[in-house]
Amino acid sequence: MALQLGDIAPDFTAETTEGTIEFHNWLGNSWGVLFSHPADFTPVCTTELGAVARLKGEFDKRNTKVIAVSVDDVESHKSWINDINETQHTTMNFPIIADPERKVADLYGMIHPNASNTLTVRSVFIIGPDKKIKLTLTYPASTGRNFQEILRVLDSLQLSAQYSVATPADWKDGEDVVISNAIKNEDIPAKFPKGHREIKPYLRMTPQPNK
């Protein structure tokens, strides 16, 4: 059965380009982004790993650890990293999991037989400090992932984890947010002292609480 939102992210022990990790221990109290690659030395994934390396500081600001997984071994990964650094004009600064036996791929349902019997699809999992899965995304092999969107989702998830709000379509950090329907009108002033707008009884907006 496919992993669903709210499920505990499966734990595992694996070799990576930065040594052996136990996944849950490695995450600690951080958020995590686990994203998969069909194989080493694939063109789109080379650009993606470079993009994440350049964004590492943004993930750090959000108390988020990033880790990739590919079905090749550590030596292959290390050779690939040389190409990533050269072609993407960056320095790899996060680990890549070696998964030659596809243990992690199988645990996370990254093999989609109708797409390929052997290669992982390009999956993304955002995992909270409680080790629960907060987001899943699956991309076809031909489409590079948008990591600015991953950062936007992290901002939304972390905001809603702290306050009784949700974020509207196309929301960006700093914009107004939606007050949860669980909050009664009479409780809004105490919870949201910046004020609010009632567009409909079920659609109430307030400035982002932590800005």
Active-site residue 158, yes or no?
no
Name all contacts of 79-87 with Cβ < 8 Å and 24+ positions apart: 79/40, 80/40, 80/41, 80/46, 81/17, 83/41, 83/46, 84/46, 84/49, 84/50, 84/53, 87/46, 87/50
Token readout for 94 is: 């996060």
Query: CA 69 to CA 117: how far, in whole Å?
Result: 17
Is residue 99 within 8 A of residue 110, CB to CB? The reply is no
Q: Judging by DSSP bridges, how do beta strands 64-70 and 31-37 pair with one another? A: parallel
Distance in Å from the first CA to the final CA of the chain: 40
Is residue 123 within 8 A of residue 110, CB to CB? The reply is yes
Q: Which of 14, 33, 34, 45 is catalytic?
A: 45
Catalytic residues, by residue number, are 45
